[in-house]
Each structure stands twice: as C-alpha cells, then as structure tokens.
Structure 1
C-alpha cells in the first residue's frame, strides 16, 4: 500500500512540475523572486548543541540575507518564516511554488558527536555516501512532528534509503543551476570567510524535492564544534554568513543575464592573458580537458567575441535543454585558472571551471584529487 501511495504522490507531483515548467517568464517586469527558508522553528528547535538553537541562528542569518537582497529593486524576497514558528516541510515548498520563485535557499546548522567543522551546501540527489544520507535523514525527520504526516507524505519514511530514490526524479531540470548557486555559496564561505570547505553535495532533502526551481540547502557550520558553534551564535558570524550567501545569490542572478550588446571595440586584445599563460608553471591532467563555463541559458547565441565581452574561443553546447557557453579548452589546470580570472575581469563574476573526459562532464574535485597528471 505504501508503494502504491508513493507512486500516486510522485505522479501528482510530476503533473504539477510539468505545469510549473511551462515557460511563464515572458513578462520582462517580473522581479527575480528569492524564497529564503530558515530551517526548523517553533516546536522544532533543530540542533541544540552547546546550548545554541539552530532555529534561532538560521532565522537570524536568513533575515540578514533578505535585508541585503531587498536593497535591489528588481529582487523580491519572500520568507517562509520571520519569527519562531513551526512550519511543515510541505508548507515551505508550497510557499516557493505559489510565488513562482526563481530560487529557494534553505539555511541550517549542522551537529555531530565529534568536533567536526566546516560548511557544506546540498542540492537534491541520491545520497552518495552514508554520511550524506544521515544528514538528509536528520533534516527530513521533522516530518514526524507534523500532524497527519502519513497522509501528507504518502508513506515516505525518512529512515529508509529507498524512500529517497523517488525524490530526484522531478528536480533534474534544475540540477545544474542548483549546483552553480551551491558552488558560489561554498566559494564565498571558503575564500572570503576562510571556513573549512566540506564541498557541494547531493542528498535527498524533502524540502528541496518539492520545490519547482533551483534550490539549495546550506549547512552553515557545526554547533557541536566549540569554536564554530560560538562563531555561528555571534552577531559577527551570522552577519558574515548572511553577507556571503547574499553575494552568491546576486552573482547567480547576474550570471543569468548575458550581455549581448555589441561594444564599440568588440574584439579585445588578449595580450595580458597570453603573457600570464606563458609565464605560469604547467599542470596538465591526463585525458582531461578543462573549460570555463560562462553561462547556461535557454537563449542560443552566436559565439562571436562581441556577444561575450570580447572573449575569444567561446564554444556552445546544448545540455539538458540549456545552452552552455564555455571559454577556452586545455588540459593545463593552471592555464584554465588564469582564463577564469580573465573572464571574471571581463564581467563574468560567477564563471567557474568544469572538467570533461571525452564528451562527459566529470566532477572537478575528483580530477584534482586524482594522480593522473
């Protein structure tokens, strides 16, 4: 019976998703809608290690993110909660879907029985490790605090891995965009705040599954860690985390707006980048090609330099229904890093490096950690 209920539920969600995926953003005046979700709340305090309350910390960070974003007139911010109240997971997703949001960002704090520390940002996917499954399981167990959870979640059991398998089916359309935002958030935490990078990961979070837009869940650190818990509970820590999340959201938004206006001098000289490449130490990886991803969009553009702020060597590929625009191609990781910096200077602030083996995109961290150099 549980299997039948789950199948019916997923079919219903699938029909809703097809409706949601119908293009509806032709109105140029539509604001960029960001739904900010402070995890837990009310009777669900979340992690309470060392006397800290995850629900309160997450809310303070979310309100800080919203305060920054609201300074932009073309961004509309919607909060799932602005005070200490309990919300069902299904309610949080429904708020985002009803608003036809462009982004959904859920903020949390981690905990562990050791002194583990660092930030990690999740997108929806099958758990790749037992550790990822345990994090997803813990966040999903809030379901049991809800009235009529058996009817609402159609037999879904957070404790069983097989229940997570269906969660990935409906979100694949947005996976690349979710990973982009998650990467921007993690980069800001690591490079600006010098927090330990626990990377971008995939896991089966219900609240991400049930949203019909690019969505991420941010674990801002471990309340169970003596130093990190103290940092996250402080005004300084909460303000800094909020600032970097907001900056990542703004970079993500800007990456979606590709500049196609011709400049007066469309083909720019590459003297600077050529000189930098010539003087750098080479670092080649066997059977791997690196590229700089400039943007992903539904718009098909000519790859001439005038469409890409003067950048030459731009290639276009259609992947998962989107056109991806890549700058450069080399097996030399040091060279591609310089090309990424060059692209950022030209205005592509949120561009990032991707790796390919043949025609298949592979995880950059796996390549860099391999010994095939």
Structure 2
C-alpha cells in the first residue's frame, strides 16, 4: 500500500508538471507562414483613378497574409501564385543579382508592416534592382519602402518596374535612390494608380557611368521608347497625392504615349532640371499640384506631345515653363475627390501623407 501510494503521488506530481509545461509553451509558427497574431488583413478597398477602369483593383483582398522577414521567404511568397497577400516585416536586403521576378500572376497584394523596407546595395548593370513586375493584373503594392544604392548611369535596373501589367495600385510607398530610376512603367502597362507615394534621392549620385550622365537621379519613366508604338492607347496612369521630394532631378514623371493624370501632388526638389516631362504623343492633365523651388516645372521637351493641359496649379519660387501646350487633354473616365491646390501641401506632407506612413494594409488613409 505504501508503494502504491508513493506511485500515485509521483504520477500526480509529474502530470502537474507536464500540464504546466504545455500551458506555458507557445505554439510554434512556421517562418514565413501566416500567423494570426501578427498578420494584417484589414484592407478591402478598391483603387480609384485609372486603376478603377477595366475591372476592380483590390489585389488579394482580405486573404490571410503570408508573413516574410527574409529574402528567401519574400521570393518564395511572391513567386508562388497561390499566395495572395504577402506581408513584409522589418528590413529585407536583396542580394546582389537577386532582383525578384514577379510574373504572370493576378489578384495579389504585397504590403509592409510599419517600417518595412526592401533594400538593394548593388549598382551594377545586371545585379541592380529590387522587383520586376511583368504580365500581372489586379496587383496592390502598399506601405513599403524601396531603397536602392543611389543613381549610377550604367543602364541598370530601377527599384521597381511595371511591365505589361494591367490594374495596378501602388499606394503609400516610398521609392528612393534607384540605380536607373525609382519606379518605371512600360510595354503596354495600363490602368494604374499611384497614390500617396513619395519619390526621393537621399544618396549622392555616382558619376562616371557609361550612359554619360553624372547625375542620373531620374525618378519615373513612362514608356521606354518613341518607337514602342504598341503603347498607343495604353499607359493610362493616375498620380494622385504623391510627393517628388529632395534629390529628384528629372522625370517626375517623363511620359510617352500615355494618358496620365497628375493631380494633387507636391514637387519640391531644388536640384531639379525638369519636373513633369511631356514626351512623344503624351496626353497629360496636370491639375491642382504644388510646385516649389523647381526648375522647369512643366517641360514640353520637343513639343511633340499630343496634349498638355495645366490647370489650377501653384508655382512658388520656380523658374522655367509652367504652362501647357495650348491643347486640351483627355477627360478622365473616373471621379476623384480633387483638393484645391491650396490644401495639397498640408495633406501630402502630413504624418500619414505620402510615403510608407501607415500601419500596414489599411484603407484608412488611401482614398483620393
């Protein structure tokens, strides 16, 4: 009886210890997998502007995010078409030559939690760039900083390129210090909205590149060539409540062919040589923006654009052309809440204004 009592007492004590261990041990989470305690599934809104045309642009909607915090996890999630929402946590460094290829997918969101960054330090022609998005549709990219190593004219890669995609919404992001550019669009890309996004060059440009420009801080190119005539009728893009800030020299944006609505933005780079650039067959509506300390805020270039209409803009301490070409631009097929120019600077430069300034995948500050 003493032996049995001892065994019972021992077993009861052991079971209590095991129960205590089970209660105190957290459930393991697979790295990169969805984790309900850290994921953000709030956003369910759809894009306005040109990205509202041709269908709804809402990315992966409210699908549970796959959380990534390393390069390998990021690449795996982006290239997996079954993953519909990717959440970036922390800073992820893109290795040399590791530019992420995001191709042939639809209905997907890539967003950052507060402070998330994708960073590249490679200035070589082949190894530069962060992400290349090609032949995709219904894509949302939100609340991410894309940071390159600085401008260097080697015909390298942009921080991000949108190639032959339709219905893309880039919202509350920051693109800075790209090697060739910050964010470019080409090859019949269409129905795109860029909202509440900041462009900057914070690092000194590297001189001596074979391209010939010692200061290639050229932010945004729309249309790759005058000969790319397949772009006619495409490249419909809205830039709304964005900020081209210090360090940008030109291409804010530079447009070929496209119907581009530049509305309620701030341009404030004192090193600029050109702001909005009207290239071959460009059709530009430049509406209720603020230009400060800019040289040639509106660059008519070779005067071979289709139409450049500038209306309601504010120019402060600028030099060079501020007018359109006397031709009426397209009429947008959508409705936006257009701010008066006097209200634009305060909205765009606010704490939740242009840039990766929101808490994650939220619609709260994304309306235009």
Normalized per residue, the structure richer in helix is 1
Task: Assess same fold via TM > 0.5.
Answer: no
Structure 1 or 2: more strand by fraction: 2
Between the two structures, name the one with larger relative contact order (CA 8 Å, sep ≥ 6): 1
TM-score by length of structure 2 reads 0.26
